[in-house]
Amino acid sequence: MGKSETLFERAVKVMPGGVNSPVRAFGSVGSTPRFIKSAKGACLYDEDGNKYIDYIGSWGPMILGHGQPEVLSSVIDACKRGLSFGAATAPEVEMAELVCSLIPSIEMVRMVNSGTEAVMSAIRLARGYTKRNKIIKFTGCYHGHSDGLLVKAGSGAMTSGIPDSLGVPAGCTQDTLSADYNSLGSVTEHFQRCGEEIAAVIVEPAAANMGVVPPKPGFLEGLRSLCDEYGTLLIFDEVITGFRLGISGAQGYYGIEPDLTTFGKIIGGGMPVGAYGGRREIMELVAPAGGVYQAGTLSGNPVAMAAGIAQLTILKEHPEYYTDLNEKANKFYQDMQKILKKSGRPYQVNHVGSLGCLYFTEKEVADYESAKTSDTKAFADYCNYMTANGVYLAPSQFEAMFLSLAHTEEMLQETLEIMEQYFMGT
């Protein structure tokens, strides 16, 4: 038995499902996890000594690749100065200035420890600012695991959300309205019924938690103008897209300014970091400046800030990195389409910048309903083949592929060849 298998046997006895976050369990592809020992550049190495080309990148943070030397040395230097002080530090100021300089819609920012925390706090702030309770979220968008956002996929006509997890009281989701991604009609319906009660619309400006679903032309613009019309705040959840689609995130990429933005993943450079920010007038309501309470013992941790600042600084100093990454990704996803087309299999390849997803369906994927038409058994078989051949994909149909700057032409070509072997049976 391999080391990963032995570790998993031990893990399931002492950890629910054997993992600390569900998708790592490989359950949705009917397989078991590889335990990763180390990583370098665009490659992962497991406990059994297998090497993989990594298309997860820690679910996004590793946009520069694993073990980027400047990021590593910043972290090591910070460790030597102290792991945590629970007091104000210079790197927190530096990080806040950096984020405000990179994202035009942000004048003030608060650091937290995860994307979940960032979103949960941004919603509290939106409610505090507007003195309203209801929020609209889109089915298939993921915003972390806080109570109010774990809502069952619902029809647009439903007036209150139904919990999608045990342990979430119905009271926690009653103010969460569901709408369909890319459907302004489903949003307008809610606004017409109760627009004056809606505190915020929260959206992934390019959805990357139901595979990858780009916004249709006019969708984000439409949300912006509905929010303006009703005095509702527009929240972009840029936990994935932030600093990935470009240095100013999806809002820069699509040219739409939200009122509040949430970050995670890339902003921490691999450390557990989240952040939310927006206009001064709104952010000044956050404690201790204002009456919306939110706190964190380890928030703005100096080691975490060192990793994030180092990564963001490199990205800021190299605007050409985004052009290169997006061009490289564009070609990769196009080549993938060619292989699928030749194979005669039903498929859709959706991609935005370095994010992409292969669905096994004939239907155009533009929302959760169409994403669900993908043949997940076909995905599982494909995913298991790729993993067995040294290509580490997200073990779920409904997650994105993340390309990084460390992926070389050769690695991408090798990946395409393995795909071709699989689909053409050669």
Instruction: Note the residues at the interface with ligand PLP (CB under 6 A).
Output: 114-116, 119, 142-144, 204, 209, 237, 239-240, 264, 274
Smallest separation (angstroms) from ligand PLP to the CB of 10: 25
Q: Is 237 a catalytic residue?
A: yes
- Our CB check for ligand PLP shows the closer of 237 and 420 to be 237
Catalytic one among 137, 265, 328, 372? Answer: 265
Paired tokens of 23: 């998708």
Nearer CB in complex with ligand PLP: 68/116: 116
* Per-residue tokens: 362: 């004939």
Residue 211 Cβ, how far from ligand PLP at the closest point, in Å?
12
Task: Give the residue with the Cβ less far from ligand PLP, 91 or 140.
Answer: 140
> Which entry of 142, 322, 368, 392 is annotated as an active-site residue?
142
Instruction: Tell me which residue of 30, 144, 52, 48 sits closest to 395, measured CA to CA.
Output: 30
Q: Min. distance of Cβ 311 from ligand PLP in angstroms?
A: 16
Q: Which is nearer to ligand PLP, 109 or 119 (CB)?
A: 119
Look at strands 233-237 and 260-263 and give their pairing. Answer: parallel
Residue 132 or 143 having the CB closest to ligand PLP: 143
Name the token pair of 4: 């990963």
Tokens of 228: 């303006």
Is the Cβ–Cβ distance between 214 and 205 less than 8 Å?
no
Do the beta carbons of residue 276 and residue 236 sit within 8 Å? no
Q: Is residue 52 annotated as a catalytic residue, yes or no?
A: no
DSSP, residue by residue, 120-178: HHHHHHHHHHHT--EEEEEET----S-GGG-B----TT-SS--BSSTT--HHHHTTEEE
Least gap, CB of 341 to ligand PLP (angstroms): 30
- Shorter beta-carbon distance to ligand PLP: residue 4 or 58: 58
Distance (Å, rounded) from C-alpha 372 to C-alpha 151? 17
Q: Which two tokens stand for residue 143?
A: 């915003």
For the stretch 161-171, what's the b/e string if a residue is b when 16 or more beta carbons lie within 10 angstroms of its beta carbon? bbbeeeebeee
Distance CA 313, CA 264 (A): 16
What is the Cα–Cα distance from 140 to 204, expressed in whole angstroms? 10
From the CB of 113, what's the least distance to ligand PLP, in Å?
8
Helix, strand, coil distribution of the chain in percent, nearest 5: 45, 15, 40
Q: Could you write out the DSSP letters of every residue in 59-120?
A: GTT-TT-BT-HHHHHHHHHHHHH-S--SS--HHHHHHHHHHHHH-TT-SEEEEESSHHHHHH
Query: Terminus-to-terminus CA distance in the chain, angstroms?
Result: 29
Q: How far is the CB of 364 from ligand PLP (least distance, A)?
A: 22
Least separation, in Å, of the C-beta of 92 and ligand PLP?
19
- Of residues 46, 237, 259, 367, which has the active-site annotation? 237
Q: Which of 148/274 has CB closer to ligand PLP? A: 274
Residue nearest to ligand PLP (CB): 115
Show which residues are catalytic. 142, 237, 265
